[in-house]
Amino acid sequence: MDKTFADRLRQLCNIYYNDYMDMPPCPVSSYERMNSLLKGTRKPTMDELIKISEAYDVSINYLLTGDEMFPGLRRLGKKEAEKILQAIEELRTDSYGL
């Protein structure tokens, strides 16, 4: 589990950058503010937490505390967890018509 909000935000940016798009989303008002959050030099506002949560599809609880996004998956085997995550991704794709 990552230790700080900034660590978790960097991890989310890396996941999105590597898996989904060329550039991770910037859900806050400017790249300068986003960089401050990524460096850990300032704390997010409640509005920023909501926008980050929505942009990266994670809970505010995860952003603040580091509680796992899918804690039950840890108890499953790798293949079962991958199947569940694939099914979730397919549902998300179907829901948004992508």
Written as one string, the DSSP assignment of 62-80 is HHHH---SSGGGGGS-HHH
User: Are 60 and 79 in a shared domain?
Assistant: no
User: Are 80 and 98 in a shared domain?
Assistant: yes
CATH code, domain carrying 41? 1.10.260.40
Reported as a single tens digit per residue, the pLDDT across 41-61 is 999 988 888 888 888 888 888
User: Are 1 and 41 in a shared domain?
Assistant: yes
Q: What is the chain's Cα-based Rg?
A: 14
User: Are 52 and 7 in a shared domain?
Assistant: yes
User: Are 24 and 5 in a shared domain?
Assistant: yes
Q: Which residue has the higher pLDDT, 91 or 39?
A: 39
Contacts of 95 (CB under 8 A, 6+ apart): none
Domain, as residue range, for 14 = 1-67
Assigned token pair, 62: 């995860």
Helices (H) and strands (E) in the chain, counts: 5, 0
User: Are 57 and 98 in a shared domain?
Assistant: no
Query: What is the share, in percent, of the chain residues with pLDDT greater than 90?
Result: 12
Place of tokens 């937490």: 49
Q: Which residue has the higher pLDDT, 90 or 71?
A: 90
